Chains A and B, each alone.
Chain A
């Protein structure tokens, strides 16, 4: 066991699985000797050689398209898209190709591939180094969408994603890359996809969240406990597709009051899907309308990003509203 940051845990996850499975390949812009712009692949070319961890041309469509071809023919590529904001040239390959290959070929061809990409705000990245596009991808049948919020989960979920027989978009909240350390076991271990994690216990209300919003929700729950002596549960969804709907419904039924938190824009966001799920299947247990706390329906601002991103105060307001409804 050692104390690792999230980005070190990603690196350790890649290294651990590459030592056991020589079909795992890493590819992307600057992932080779430089080790990636966030150093997620640092040292891996040195250990595994250019054949297994290599730089590609600056071409997101090419990275994912070529990755699909490698996956079709026996390899397990892990493609890095340097920032999620740059993924859109590869949208066609992800959405039309990787996600649909098994379906359209009747299972004759499959794409066991992971696309890793840092996403989200909090690093003063402005419009094009800050976006949270999970909803675009969670809307795509055939694609799994996984988002860790801790170093332990980052490694375990990443290894599960690499071993998964279907394509996975693995979105890494870059604001948490070096936010804190935690104990991470050595070697290969997995965290099951499509399971949620209870971060804070409680039954006065529940906050659903993922990625970099998990510590924000946790802080809000701590302050509510302090100011109102009420226990607010925090649930990290961590796999957005396929979602563990039963766990989400159960928490809502037990708590009766719900806040859904995301940093992405509000309209048609993933929080809207959670709200709709609860409205359809848990309305009889709800003591208050579901509140969403989200980014705004604007592009992502630079100087004023702290006013764009939901913070603990905004979450507390929403929690108080559902508690006092």
Chain B
């Protein structure tokens, strides 16, 4: 039985408080008046636009002023969007970890894997964050379109839709009611599976026969079917629709790859942490080796999907598709290509050697890099659509990460204290305990 140490509890609460303060600060400083925005713009453009202004004086000054006004309004909106987006990116990132772990867990059970049952309780602990995490994501999305000023999804703004034929055509799918109903169906389905999986898993500990195990097997297979559809649709709803004109047919898979690799990384990190504390003596380095192999494999899988999406759009060069990457390469050059180094080159080279996959500190090092890289991946999906070139990793972004990291740790560690850390009556537990490479 795991006990949540007071030190860790205080640590996670401090993270939440710090994050909360930072997020509050971010929201308070994001409301700039039009004049303030104009001053910011004038400061930024002061030097390099001096020449340009002399050449365009011949153009009607009235339209020039109007244009400047419109631009300032646009920038004002982007500045206001930043704390919303920062909060949303972090909320999604931590929700995605829990969802990825849930999918991985269901795959282990449905495939009746023999190596992993010693890690089931760790996975169940992480998935405890899914329900609150997903509700928060949906909550932020809905709030941005109700209390906020359409800070994340432009299709929520009736004024934008009125002048936009493309969004009008999609409004049968992209409307607030549908968005909320779909979101609740996704969350409901995932959480129901999580609730019953956990229940059967714990009931199996004290059972005389394998009835609970069989039930768990059946619902896991059913959940995977549900998950394949909903994870993909969730990625259209919650991420892809921030750019409502743009679409990619493999976007769902791409988000899934990010999700599963982050999830497996967190399983490995948490298992190493608990083992170091002496709670998981039955987890040996062969289990870590397997987790590291999955981290390695799914990192390459993620790169494959990233590249497939990029190359087809780059090659076809269709204007409405290619703008997506033009913005990212022009305004987000460092995070866009930097994430390839973090998510592909690092795990590829660090985890290639078989022996390195068994060294805990090596897995921790690579794991932190992978998590950082996938945070930036989500950042690159949301930010260009909402804040444009007004991005920065500053107080709103970092404190949003702290806020949700604290919440995540708090909920996950509380869930870990609720049940023994070994699913001792699982039919495969003996095989798992004796698992060796």
- A-B interaction: no
A interface, CB within 8 angstroms of B = none
B interface, CB within 8 angstroms of A = none
